[in-house]
């Protein structure tokens, strides 16, 4: 990857590499935009190599810029991807040291970067960060649960457009990834009578959830993209749907909690295939809304429902793909509000 070419093509402002040898901290901090305000940076922690960490930070930070803009928040977008230390973080003191080291390293950037939780990071970790930098959000928010409820409401709003009804009863939903968000989403859908098929990189986790949710099926991750279904809900780590895999898809709607499940080329491919895609930054914003505004789960989820409803209504009116409309809406707000400083 040519890093400066990649930053220029996506419009990034900065990328910072962070290291603290005693704690095992190795992280990539990407700031995509601060036009609307400080960059909200989702912090991720899981095993990955340097290239994947860098790509993930660039993609996630761009998604957060668009998410904050669509949600009407006065924040930009960033991401901090932390590589799992070789010794792990099972020792609570090691975990504390890792996140406090990160907070201390990021503290000089507090006017530009606000850290919040993402995959592998919870409120207690944000608490460690907050001991070292005031630039944090979400310490007292169950972000995953609120995000999942927002995704559920967003799926209902988009199903009215894609499937003709927002009722989930009898709707075939394939969920790829049943971590915190995917698991909670499955529960909401199951209660409404959706027919669920689950897959996860840890098959035992999908199997355990299927045993809790009567009637749910389990398939390997390698097979779920081939599954005939109405809704494919990716809830994994990102880029779950490769461009080359799009011809395999047998769904009518892609809508889930995962950040950047498709590349820009992948978005074009699903549009060509006639599959409706509701982008991550439109549908998975409830947790961020709650953390940033203090809204409760129903309030944040209803904002997502309203946003997705507005996107699909405009898509129908102007005969454009919803993901194209969503990006244009976000970019328009950034352009308009950004222009105030230039007036």
pLDDT for the residue numbered 8:
87
pLDDT for the residue numbered 285:
96
Q: Minimum mean pLDDT among 34-48, 189-203, 296-310: which range?
A: 34-48
Question: Does residue 125 have a pLDDT over 60?
Answer: yes
Residues 99 and 171 in one domain: no
pLDDT for the residue numbered 86:
86
69: in domain = no
**pLDDT tens digits along 178-189:** 999 999 999 999
Q: Pick from 283, 279, 281: which is nearest to 323 by CA?
A: 279
Please report which confidence band the pLDDT of residue 132 belongs to, taking 50, 70 and 90 as the band edges: very high
| CA-atom Rg of the chain in angstroms | 19
Q: What is the 3-state secondary structure (H, E, C) of 107-155?
A: HHHCCCEEEEECCCCCHHHHHHHHCCCCCECCCCCCHHHHHHHHHHHHH
Q: What is the mean pLDDT of residues 315-343?
A: 91
Please report which confidence band the pLDDT of residue 309 belongs to, taking 50, 70 and 90 as the band edges: very high
Question: Does residue 97 have a pLDDT over 90?
Answer: yes
Question: Does residue 161 have a pLDDT over 90?
Answer: yes
pTM attached to this predicted model: 0.92
70: in domain = no
Residues 225 and 252 in one domain: yes
Burial 98-132 (b: 16+ CB within 10 A, else e): bbbbbbbbbeebeebbbbbbbbbbebebbbbbbeb
User: Dihedral sign, CA of 16, 21, 23, 24?
Assistant: positive
Question: Does residue 7 have a pLDDT over 90?
Answer: no
pLDDT for the residue numbered 342:
55
pLDDT for the residue numbered 343:
47
337: in domain = no
Burial class (CB in 10 A: 0-12, 13-18, 19+), 90: exposed
Residues 86 and 231 in one domain: no
For 176, phi and psi rounded to 5 degrees? -105, 105
- In the three-class reduction of DSSP (H, G, I as helix; E, B as strand; rest coil), residue 217 is classed as strand
Report yes or no: 179 and 221 within 8 Å, Cβ to Cβ.
no
Q: What is the mean pLDDT of residues 21-37?
A: 96
Q: Pick from 203, 171, 177, 205: which is nearest to 190 by CA?
A: 171
Residues 225 and 294 in one domain: yes
Q: How far is CA 276 from CA 128, 154, 250, 269, 332, in A?
A: 40, 13, 12, 11, 22
Question: Does residue 199 have a pLDDT over 50?
Answer: yes
In this structure, what CATH number is given to the domain that contains residue 324? 3.40.50.720
**pLDDT tens digits along 241-294:** 999 999 999 999 999 999 999 998 999 999 999 999 999 999 999 999 999 999
Question: Does residue 10 have a pLDDT over 80?
Answer: yes
Structure tokens at 310: 């507005």
Q: Quote the strand ranges of the chain, DSSP E.
A: 14-20, 25-33, 39-46, 76-83, 113-117, 172-176, 195-199, 217-218, 231-234, 253-254, 276-277
- Spatial separation of the C-alpha atoms in residues 244 and 266, rounded to whole Å: 8
Structure tokens at 33: 């935009």
Average per-residue pLDDT in the chain? 94
In this structure, what CATH number is given to the domain that contains residue 122? 3.40.50.10860
pLDDT for the residue numbered 237:
85
Report yes or no: 258 and 239 within 8 Å, Cβ to Cβ.
no
- Where in the sequence is the domain holding 208, given as residue range(s)? 143-331
Residues 55 and 202 in one domain: no
pLDDT for the residue numbered 1:
63
Residues 121 and 156 in one domain: no
Neighbouring residues of 53: CB distance < 8 A, sequence distance ≥ 6 = 26, 27, 28, 81, 83
**pLDDT tens digits along 65-90:** 999 999 999 999 999 999 999 888 88
pLDDT for the residue numbered 71:
96
Q: Pick from 151, 10, 154: which is nearest to 79 by CA?
A: 10
pLDDT for the residue numbered 170:
97
Neighbouring residues of 27: CB distance < 8 A, sequence distance ≥ 6 = 17, 18, 19, 53, 80, 81, 82, 83, 102, 105
* Strand order across the beta sheet in which 39-46 lies: 14-20, 25-33, 76-83, 39-46, 113-117
187: in domain = yes
- Spatial separation of the C-alpha atoms in residues 291 and 143, rounded to whole Å: 7
83: in domain = yes
86: in domain = yes
Number of residues that this document lists for the chain: 343
**Domain count within the chain:** 2
User: Dihedral sign, CA of 103, 109, 114, 116?
Assistant: negative
Residues 93 and 208 in one domain: no
**pLDDT tens digits along 201-227:** 999 999 999 999 999 999 999 999 999
């Amino acid at each position: 990857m040519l890093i400066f070419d990649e930053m220029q093509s996506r419009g990034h402002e900065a990328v910072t590499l962070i290291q603290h040898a005693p704690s095992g901290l190795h992280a990539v901090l990407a700031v995509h935009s601060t036009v609307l305000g400080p960059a909200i940076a989702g912090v991720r922690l899981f095993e990955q190599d340097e290239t994947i960490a860098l790509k993930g930070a660039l993609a996630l930070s761009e998604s957060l810029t668009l998410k904050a803009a669509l949600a009407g928040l006065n924040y930009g977008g960033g991401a901090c991807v932390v590589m799992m230390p070789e010794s792990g973080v099972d020792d609570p003191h090691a975990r504390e040291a890792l996140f406090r080291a990160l907070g201390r390293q990021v503290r000089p950037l507090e006017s530009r970067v606000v850290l919040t939780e993402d995959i592998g990071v919870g409120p207690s970790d944000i608490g460690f960060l907050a001991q070292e930098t005031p630039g944090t959000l979400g310490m007292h928010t169950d972000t995953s649960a609120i995000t999942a409820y927002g995704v559920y409401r967003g799926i209902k709003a988009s199903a009215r457009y894609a499937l003709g009804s927002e009722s989930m009863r009898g709707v075939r939903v394939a969920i790829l990834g049943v971590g915190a968000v995917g698991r909670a989403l499955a529960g909401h859908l199951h209660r409404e009578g959706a027919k669920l098929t689950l897959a996860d990189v840890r098959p035992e986790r999908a199997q355990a959830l299927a045993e809790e949710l009567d009637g749910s099926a389990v398939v390997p991750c390698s097979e779920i993209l081939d599954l005939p279904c109405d809704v494919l809900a990716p809830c994994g780590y990102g880029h779950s749907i490769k461009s080359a895999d799009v011809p395999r898809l047998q769904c009518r709607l892609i809508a889930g909690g995962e950040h950047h499940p498709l590349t820009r080329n992948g978005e074009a491919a699903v549009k060509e295939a006639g599959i409706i895609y509701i982008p991550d930054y439109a549908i998975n914003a409830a947790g961020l809304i709650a953390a940033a505004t203090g809204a409760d789960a129903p309030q944040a989820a209803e904002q997502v429902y309203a946003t997705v409803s507005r996107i699909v209504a405009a898509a129908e009116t102007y005969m454009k793909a919803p993901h194209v409309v969503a990006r244009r809406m976000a970019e328009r707000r950034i352009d308009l509000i950004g222009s105030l400083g230039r007036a």
